[in-house]
Amino acid sequence: MSGYDIKKLVEMGLSHFWNENYGNLYPTLESLVETGLATRQADPDSGKRKRNIYQITEAGHLAFQEWLSRPTDPPAIRNELQLKFFLSSTQPKKVSLRIVREYRVQQQALLAEYQQSAALLRRAIDAGEYPEEVEEILGQHAARRSASHKAKQYKVFLLSLRHGILAIQARITWCDEVLSELSTK
């Protein structure tokens, strides 16, 4: 796919666990080509508009598999909202409460979004019919996918989303616990 496509894929499908920006993306693709892990070719279908299609190479596949098998260290976390909540212990109770209420509103909105996407995917998997709007995101980097590969792809996509949903639900549960804990006493 192209750099632009990758950006779209990440934005529309992976935003609950990843983000990417052009300033990082294009130089990275460049270096992949330089090191022989990918090839670049101008898209012939795009006329005058320049559009580069990147293909993973054999060496790229190996490097990818090696990366997949490498142990992953947990991300360094900096949750500003949690920091504020912790430090609000020096302030009147209502300050802590306001922080948590704001958090809850944020998370609730996200949850609605994710649940809608999940429902779409769930229907697609159950029906075995893959909707265009998802195919546009998932399909473009693998023109010829077998039915079983497609099925696995959708299943994994849904499970990724499921991770986001469970995480958010846990946060909302926390908000509710805090709210009742702090307001009753």
Partner DNA sequence: TCAGACATGTAAGTCGTTACATGATTCA
Partner DNA sequence: TGAATCATGTAACGACTTACATGTCTGA
Residues binding a copy of itself (CB under 8 A): 14, 16-19, 64-65, 67-69, 71-72, 74-91, 93, 95-96, 98-99, 102-103, 106, 142, 149, 152-153, 155-157, 159-160, 162-163, 166-167, 169-171, 173-174, 177-178, 181-182
Q: CB of 12: closest distance to DNA in angstroms? A: 10
d(CA 182, CA 161): 32
Residue 55 makes contact with DNA by CB under 7 A:
no
Query: Minimum CB separation from DNA for residue 93, in Å?
Result: 29
Return phi, psi of residue 56, to 5°. -75, 145
Instruction: By CB under 7 A, tell whether 50 contacts DNA.
Output: yes
Q: Contact between 19 and DNA (CB under 7 A)? A: yes
3 sits near DNA (criterion: CB under 7 A):
yes
Is residue 125 exposed (0-12), middle (13-18) or buried (19+ Cβ within 10 Å)? Answer: middle
Quick one: which segment of 22-30, 84-92, 141-149, 176-184 binds DNA (CB under 7 A)? 22-30
CB atoms within 10 A of CB 25: 15
Q: At what angle do helices 93-127 and 147-184 cross, to 10 degrees?
A: 160
* Residue 183 site contact among a copy of itself, DNA, none (CB < 5 to 8 Å, cut-off depends on kind): none
The neighbouring-strand residues paired with 39 are 55
79, exposed or middle or buried, with CB in 10 Å at 0-12, 13-18, 19+? exposed
Helices (H), the chain: 3-13, 22-34, 58-69, 80-87, 93-127, 132-138, 147-184
Residue 85's binding partner among a copy of itself, DNA, none (Cβ under 5 to 8 angstroms by kind) is a copy of itself
Residue 134 sits in the site that holds DNA (CB under 7 A)? no
| Among the residue ranges 14-22, 62-70, 165-173, 176-184, the one whose residues contact DNA (CB under 7 A) | 14-22
Q: Which of 48, 70, 144, 185 binds DNA (CB under 7 A)?
A: 48
